[in-house]
Structure 1
Amino acid sequence: MTAADPAPMSRGDRRRSLVRLGRAYARNRAGVAAACLLLATVGAAVAAPLFVGAADLSAVHAPGAPLRPPSARFPLGTDGYGRSMLAVTVWGARISLAVGLLATVVSVGIGALVGICAGHFRGWTETVLMRVTDWFLVLPTLVLAAALASVLPPGTATVVVAIGVTSWATTARLVRAQTLTVEARPYIERARALGGDHWHVTTRHVLPNVAPLVLAQTTLTVSGAILAESTLAFLGLGDPTAVSWGTTLQLARQVGAVSAGDWWVLLPPGLAIAGVCLAFTVCGRALEAVLNPRLAGRR
């Protein structure tokens, strides 16, 4: 370790830092409520196979009659196939959350890599990367994702790739700006003077300082990825064999639930999408305020 390197944090220091972060987050009531909603949704999605069987999701051997209003047997009614809307909504959380999280990992990973490289190497590398980033920023993300999903084989992996590779530009811009700020600090110059190479500077100095921004951006990106997945599925560009909130809304449109006034087919998946996206956004804003105390007074 050179003189320019910060002293490594011990396990006790990390534990105390996490405790302080948790206490600061707990003071944000909206963030705590949103986190509880997300935990409940994830818990229901994980536990779905325990009370939702294959017959409950089958379009051929559905347990009820199509488009029946809520009743004692089906608290949220049935969809166009006769499946319980409660079972379909709970099971749909598995696909929608999984696609949203995986697409966010791809998007934030690409954006963080491009942003750090552009902010660190500068010169022609920064010019090329930023021009590509500007190109993705100008194009409508959803239109580009729909075009990509339409030319690739249908499936969940296609939706993840389509959303992930078209929504990273905003993250790249934010990470680049943070990287430029870090690179201007005196200890970066000292590290280079003492022989630190590109890998040392980016991994030991830049990445730890950019990580909080990336973490906050991740929670904010998930909501957009879930909404994009639901939109692509609603347009028929998702996995036709998967049960998600988007495919549930697509089936409601196909059977004419909107014109017929069958609200119970539209309301559960619609509220689930809105609630989860709002919860991720609130969690992201709360986490951003905790990691950057200067923002706390502006909220």
Structure 2
Amino acid sequence: MEKPSEPREPELGKPSGDPGKAAPAPSPRALTRARRRQAVVRFWQQYRTHRAGLVGLAVLAVIALLALTAPLLVGAGSQSVTDAPGGPMEAPSGEFPLGTDQFGRSLLALMLWGTRVSLTVGLLAAFLSVAIGTLVGITAGHFKGWYATVVMRVTDWFLVMPTLVLAIALATVLSRSVWTTILAIGVTTWPTTARLVRAQTLSVESRPYIERSRALGGGHGHIMSRHVLPNVMPLVLAQTTLVISTAILTEATLAFLGLSDPTIVSWGGLLQDAREAGAVSSGNWWYLAPPGLAIAVVALAFTLCGRAIESVLNPKLGVSR
């Protein structure tokens, strides 16, 4: 009489339901995506503990929504000077909650249109500035010797020169347009990012795995793109949010000085129009206060988000929540 066979335990790497087939191993891309998802979840869990960062993020979300829906809320005709619905310099009322400008256009509608320009200029100028600073910082930290010396001396020269003066000089020489403003801000605000990224690059390249990568035949491009760049990206991300607020303030300053495109409505341009219309001397506060407060609120919101991101990515800073 045969003894019943004892049940065998499933082998490692094989599913218990089908012992003859091995479980397929996840692909490297799947593992990378899973790790990125986990990193995003951890980042959000830590970010939402910063109340100031949540407030800044909520403010930016509302302002971005208003900027995207501006054509639906007020229409493109609200910028027209010939078809202005109100009288010049009217005080706030039920029809015009923020009053009108010197042409009779609704300031509320102009504020919504100005949101699109100010945010676009701030984001693109900050992206250009951070891209230049990151490239200069990584290459100066990786390639030492005469190259790093020359590049950092140029960076020091840009740091010594006032950023606003350089931006005004570029905006004066080039034609007046939104792209000129973006270029003027981007090429004058990158030195701070370059200094920070270079310091982080030097710290990363002193680690043992960089030497192992070189010993295994890793070239300059491989080391900078595969090892250095991922390690400096948290710093770059935090720096970007801080540079955006600076870019928005600089754009408003250039527009206030009359160095931006006069045909495009922006918050700084509204301040320039108010100055030319004599709103300060006539006491028409509703012409000055809304764009000035909008610039301050957006700059503060980006700063709060930047400080929260910096605190999450670098807890040693000890930024208060």
TM-score, with structure 2 as normaliser: 0.89
- 2:177 is aligned with what amino acid? G
Superposed counterparts of 1:275-294, under 5 Å:
275-294=297-316
8 A contact 1:106–1:165 mirrored in 2: yes
Partner of 1:80: 102
Superposed counterparts of 1:247-286, under 5 Å = 247-286=269-308
Cα deviation, residue 48, structure 1: 0.1
- Given the alignment, which residue of 39, 46, 49 partners 1:24? 46
Shift of 1:298: 5.9
TM-score, normalised to structure 1, is: 0.96
Distance in 2 (CA, whole Å) between partners of 1:19 and 1:268 is 37
Partner residue of 2:8?
none
| Structure 2 counterparts to residues 26-45 of structure 1, below 5 A | 26-45=48-67
Q: 2:250 aligns with which of 220, 228, 232?
A: 228
Give 1:211's aligned amino acid: M
- The structure in which a higher percent of residues are helix is 1
Is the radius of gyration larger for structure 1 or structure 2? 2
Match of 2:141 in 1: 119
Gaps of 5+ in 2: 1-27
1:98 paired residue among 105, 110, 120: 120
Alpha carbons 1:290, 1:296 under 8 Å: kept: no
Q: Partners of 1:285 and 1:156 in 2: how far apart?
A: 28
Gaps of 5+ in 1: 1-6
DSSP 3-state at the match of 2:258: coil
Are the equivalent residues in 2 in contact too, given 1:115–1:179 (CA < 8 A)? yes
**CA displacement at 1:26 relative to structure 2:** 0.4
Q: Secondary structure at the match of 2:318?
A: helix
Q: Does 2:259 align with 1:237?
A: yes
What's the secondary structure of 2:63's corresponding residue? helix
Give how far 1:37 is off: 0.1
Task: State the 4+ residue runs in structure 1 displaced beyond 6 angstroms.
Answer: none
CA distance in structure 1 between the partners assigned to 2:315 and 2:276 by the alignment: 48
Tell me by how many angstroms 1:225 deviates: 0.2
2:87 is equivalent to residue 68 of structure 1? no
Distance (Å, rounded) in 1 between the aligned partners of 2:32 and 2:151: 37
- Percent identical: 63
Residues 55 and 63 of structure 1 are in contact (CA less than 8 Å); yes or no, is this contact kept in structure 2?
no
**Residues 119-198 of structure 1: matches in 2 within 5 Å?**
119-198=141-220
- Return the alpha-carbon distance in structure 2 between the equivalents of residues 10 and 276 of structure 1: 35
Q: CA RMSD in A?
A: 1.2
* Higher RCO (CA 8 Å, separation ≥ 6 residues): 1
Per-residue CA deviation, residues 65-115 of structure 1 (Å, 9 max, x unaligned), is: 111110010011111111111101111000000001010111000000000
What is the DSSP-based 3-state SS (H/G/I as helix, E as strand, rest coil) of the residue aligned with 1:205?
A: helix
| Paired AA for residue 258 in structure 2 | G
